[in-house]
Structure 1
Amino acid sequence: MYKTALLIVDMVKDFTDPEGLVFYPQNREILPRIKRVLDKCREKDVLVVFLQHCNRKGKFDRKAASMRPNCIEGSGGEEIDPMLPVQEETDYVIKKRRYSGFFGTDLDLVLRENGVKNVIVVGTKTNCCIRATITDAFYLDYDGYVVSDCVATNSETVNQVHLEDISKYLGTVVDTEELFGLLDSGKL
């Protein structure tokens, strides 16, 4: 049983690759830091969950229809960035179609089945998918930790505003070194 899970939110090629349909450079910058966190979490036996934004090919989706096309199943843009290798034997990959990793998925069930109480959240976009996921984690009584140097959006001001709100109302905001201290001390 795990007491902590790492949720890697939407680090898929359409967001992280310069050839991606909705790429922005901040996602490329956080990839190596997320990789460090992933490696440390695996070393500490933390459950790893990749949340994968994925829109159905050829099927109507009201939200997807109002945005630039991205993360379409089978396009390659929905694939997890190869800098973050998935270990199929132990990791979970959960497809999602909305901002929150909890909405319309079995994420809560997976976490509860594995005895998880704490969630560490990294990935993209702080103002949408990170915020929605940590909000739902709060509502579902998980202790949430957002790693400030492992989340991004296309505006640093917007990123900081949302991290401040998350810290005040929804969970704990830490940087990578603070996270590693919590993991090494056994507090997470």
Structure 2
Amino acid sequence: MADKDALLIIDYTNDFVDDQGSLTAGKPAQKLDQSIVDLAEKFKDDNQFVIFPTDVHKKDDPYSPETKLYPTHNVRGTWGRQLYGNVGKWFNKNQDLDNVWQMDKTRYSAFAGTDLDLRLRERNVKTLHLVGVCTDICVLHTAIAGYNLDYNLVIHQSGVATFSDLGQKFAMDHFKNVLGAKIVD
């Protein structure tokens, strides 16, 4: 079986992207919408994988460390957890394909407490392409876990955003200089 790539579209939900989201990165995140759709379409057409690791919580969950850190966000079954904009429309149109799926995650990293590594290895995925929000939180923690599991990493700079320029710069430097990720536009 030939080596495969996977595009991970991390946490691109209304709560993290929309102006009305409870923990929004706002305009910088909204600007990613079409570039993420274009990437997803390319991966789908090339018979690669498009995976949506998506944060999920319960309101006031005493077992989630995020309850103390952030406002309530990405509660299952709410508008806030729905995928944002054109990305959401793209997913709804393609979610029944074998190479497109959404998965729940309850921690920053898409690997923590999930079967993502197993599913990727079953499909002979060697390289992870990361986009989504927030660059210095969930994207970064997913990249670190992927690095520690020996995946090749590609960060699409035109596909990631966060709350501050400082956080964006730190994460991009970390991807490149500490994780050896390939940075592309």
Query: TM-score surpassing 0.5?
Result: yes
Aligned residues: 176
Query: Percent identity, aligned pairs only?
Result: 27
Counterpart check, 1:147 vs 2:163? no
Q: Kindly provide the amino acid, as one letter, of the partner of residue 17 in structure 2.
A: T
Distance in structure 1 (CA, Å) of the matches to 2:159 and 2:180: 15
Distance in structure 2 (CA, Å) of the matches to 1:153 and 1:82: 17
Q: Kindly provide the amino acid, as one letter, of the partner of residue 77 in structure 2.
A: G
Distance in structure 2 (CA, Å) of the matches to 1:3 and 1:135: 20
Counterpart check, 1:51 vs 2:58? no
- TM-score, length-scaled by structure 2: 0.88
Counterpart check, 1:79 vs 2:82? yes
Distance in structure 1 (CA, Å) of the matches to 2:180 and 2:151: 9
Distance in structure 1 (CA, Å) of the matches to 2:18 and 2:34: 13
CA shift, 1:129, in A, is 0.5
2:6 corresponding residue in structure 1: 5
2:71 to 64, 68, 72: 68
Contact 1:145 1:171 in 2 (8 A): no
Contact 1:121 1:130 in 2 (8 A): yes
State the Cα deviation string for residues 29-57 of structure 1 (Å, max 9, x = none): 11111112112212222111001111024
Counterpart check, 1:116 vs 2:119? no
Instruction: List gaps (5 residues or longer) in structure 1.
Output: 177-188
Query: Matched residue of 1:80: which SS?
Result: coil
1:19 corresponding residue in structure 2: 20
Distance in structure 2 (CA, Å) of the matches to 1:138 and 1:42: 24
Query: Matched residue of 1:117: which SS?
Result: strand
Q: Kindly provide the amino acid, as one letter, of the partner of residue 88 in structure 1.
A: Q
Distance in structure 2 (CA, Å) of the matches to 1:162 and 1:104: 23
Counterpart check, 1:159 vs 2:168? yes
Instruction: List gaps (5 residues or longer) in structure 2.
Output: none
State the Cα deviation string for residues 53-87 of structure 1 (Å, max 9, x = none): 11024643332321211101122211122411222
CA shift, 1:147, in A, is 0.8
CA shift, 1:105, in A, is 0.8
- TM-score, length-scaled by structure 1: 0.87
Query: Matched residue of 1:83: which SS?
Result: helix
Query: Matched residue of 1:26: which SS?
Result: helix
Cα distance change on mapping 1:171 and 1:31 into 2, 3 Å: farther
